[in-house]
Amino acid sequence: MKRKYGTIQDRNNSEEYRKNMSLAKKGIKHTKTHNKKISNTCKAHKINVKHGLSTFQHHCKDCKKKISWRAIRCGSCACKEKLKDPTKHPSYIKGKPKCIDCDKELTNYNSVRCGKCSRVYNLKTMMQKGCKYYKEYLMKSNWEIIYAKYLDKNNIKWLYESKTFDLGNTTYTPDFYLPQTDEYIEIKGWFRDDAKKKFRLFKKSYPEIKIVLIKDIAGLKRED
């Protein structure tokens, strides 16, 4: 049988081969009715057919925030709308949602576990992350354990995470409380930006409470 083209290069350079390849790349041809349907939807949403982008800005029905042209509400407003009617919530299955561990009914539709199971789960995750026990306290870092041992060595009474303070949208719990000097101690090796903001907010909200920030355990550098 005689070959149509001498080499692969000859075949690729031929006009017939190029024409066939260009037709193949175009893909399946749509019917006229389907093409009309696409053009009508694009016109309705003011979509640029060439780039597939919407030239019309769509806004949330409730908060007027910019959203995708396919959506009606933004994420937060959609969640609020679902909470108005519990049957529309994804966790609602013929009644209130249940804890994934103990099957207890939950009052909050956004929660996955009950309070008891969530505490056990958080304890397990903290242990996996490297948290260790010192006496009866589960401490989050080695620096906290070193500082607790330092206090015991110098016969200084201390309490670990004894009180949580309300800061409006969030809460703050200092690491140590020293009853003898009536002051709170915060141990920070790596001070993240969000932790700095929370620390400043605590000092602003509770100016009467004395809190000391320790950044270096080796030299016990303190910042009032």
pLDDT of residue 2: 47
pLDDT of residue 9: 56
pLDDT of residue 20: 66
Q: How many residues does the chain have?
A: 224
The span from the CA of 196 to the CA of 137, in Å, is: 25
For residue 123, give the 3-state DSSP assignment: helix
Rounded average pLDDT per 10-residue block, the chain, 224 residues: 53 65 59 76 58 60 80 79 63 69 77 81 74 82 88 92 86 92 89 86 92 78 53
Residues 6+ apart with CB under 8 A from 17: 11
Residues 6+ apart with CB under 8 A from 194: none
pLDDT of residue 152: 92
Which of 96, 58, 61, 56 has its CA nearest to residue 78? 61
Q: What fold does the segment set 131-223 form as a domain? A: Endonuclease; Chain A (3.40.960)
CATH code 3.40.960 region(s) in the chain: 131-223
**Are 64 and 58 a contacting pair, CB within 8 Å?**
no
